[in-house]
Amino acid sequence: MAIWTKTPLWGRILAGCIVVALLVAAVVLVNTLGSKPSVVAAQETQLQEKDAEIQSLQDQVKNLQADYLKQAETFGALRTEIDALKAVQAQRLDENPVVVVNQAPEEKEFVWDGKSFQGLAPFFFDGDPLIAQHKERGKDMTYECSKDYGVFFTMDSGVVQDEPTVYHEKKYGAVGFVPCTEGKLIQLWTEHWSESALHNQVHIVELYLPLPESVTVEQALEALMKDDGKPLAYMFAADGTHELIVGDQLK
């Protein structure tokens, strides 16, 4: 105690600083040693997660390899069966050779009796499912051509391509023909509705082949007029103009 009191002031201050520094160093050392286990634990957890991912990938590879082997075995079995069938077929051909005649089958010329439009059925398909708004009562309808030949239509009194089906200021049902190019829109409207079929009274068939040279559009329209009992036929041209064919009942 006497020595401490005799120590100069600056010496006592220096000694105090040294003591404080030693205490701080001791605290830091303790904290560092205490934190190492938690860091190591976190690293071990990460390693375990990576190991689990690697194991999962390895399992997937094994499954894929197993599937591939199964498919390869199936393919091999099918190939063996095909080869066996080919061998049997070759043996039968050797025993009973087939005589091949290089002659094309005779093409039959299409003949239409002109009595019914349905006789032209090999050249057209039903377009009703493709009529937009067909099942919307009283709505404007459109039909988009899918081929480059044309459509035939049957309808109760209404409007087609902006032309009302009127004769001498009276409304009539009509049939008609509109030439097509792919994507062309045909406009139709009628106020008449089928309660049984639940659609507007319009029907369309579209040519997916050109009419045979022996049949004119006018002849086809006249047959359609008779089949469907319509007194008018509208024969449109590519430029939008039309010729009106009037049935005998209106003459």
Same domain assignment for residues 79 and 123: no
Q: Write down the pTM of the prediction.
A: 0.58
Same domain assignment for residues 125 and 209: yes
Let me know if residue 108 belongs to a domain. Answer: no
Rounded CA separation 99/34 (Å): 96
Same domain assignment for residues 14 and 71: yes
Predicted local distance difference test score (pLDDT) of residue 54: 81
Same domain assignment for residues 126 and 233: yes
Predicted local distance difference test score (pLDDT) of residue 48: 82
- Which of 131, 148, 146, 150 has its CA nearest to residue 202? 131
Predicted local distance difference test score (pLDDT) of residue 236: 97
Mean pLDDT by 10 residues, the chain (251 residues): 53 62 60 58 78 82 68 64 70 58 55 91 94 96 96 97 94 97 96 96 96 95 96 96 90 72
Predicted local distance difference test score (pLDDT) of residue 212: 92
Predicted local distance difference test score (pLDDT) of residue 101: 43
Q: Are strands 124-126 and 202-207 parallel, antiparallel or unpaired?
A: antiparallel
Same domain assignment for residues 135 and 90: no
Predicted local distance difference test score (pLDDT) of residue 215: 95
Let me know if residue 104 belongs to a domain. Answer: no
Let me know if residue 55 belongs to a domain. Answer: yes
Let me know if residue 34 belongs to a domain. Answer: yes
Predicted local distance difference test score (pLDDT) of residue 201: 97
Predicted local distance difference test score (pLDDT) of residue 20: 58
Same domain assignment for residues 35 and 136: no
Predicted local distance difference test score (pLDDT) of residue 60: 81
Predicted local distance difference test score (pLDDT) of residue 104: 45
Let me know if residue 147 belongs to a domain. Answer: yes
How many C-beta atoms surround the C-beta of residue 142 within 10 A? 15
Cβ-proximal residues to 175 (8 Å cutoff; 6+ apart), any chain: 152, 153, 154, 155, 221, 224, 225, 228, 230, 232, 233, 234
Same domain assignment for residues 86 and 141: no
Same domain assignment for residues 144 and 47: no
Find the domain containing 51 and state its range.
Answer: 2-95
Same domain assignment for residues 167 and 245: yes
Same domain assignment for residues 80 and 184: no
Let me know if residue 109 belongs to a domain. Answer: no
Predicted local distance difference test score (pLDDT) of residue 138: 93
What one-character-per-residue DSSP string does 41-82 give?
HHHHHHHHHHHHHHHHHHHHHHHHHHHHHHHHHHHHHHHHHH
Let me know if residue 112 belongs to a domain. Answer: no
Predicted local distance difference test score (pLDDT) of residue 105: 47
The DSSP symbol for 151 reads E
Predicted local distance difference test score (pLDDT) of residue 205: 97
Predicted local distance difference test score (pLDDT) of residue 19: 60
Same domain assignment for residues 71 and 129: no
Same domain assignment for residues 85 and 124: no
For residue 141, what is the enclosing H or E element?
strand 141-144
Let me know if residue 107 belongs to a domain. Answer: no
Predicted local distance difference test score (pLDDT) of residue 100: 41
Name the domain boundary from 29, 61, 95. Answer: 95
Give the count of domains, the chain.
Answer: 2
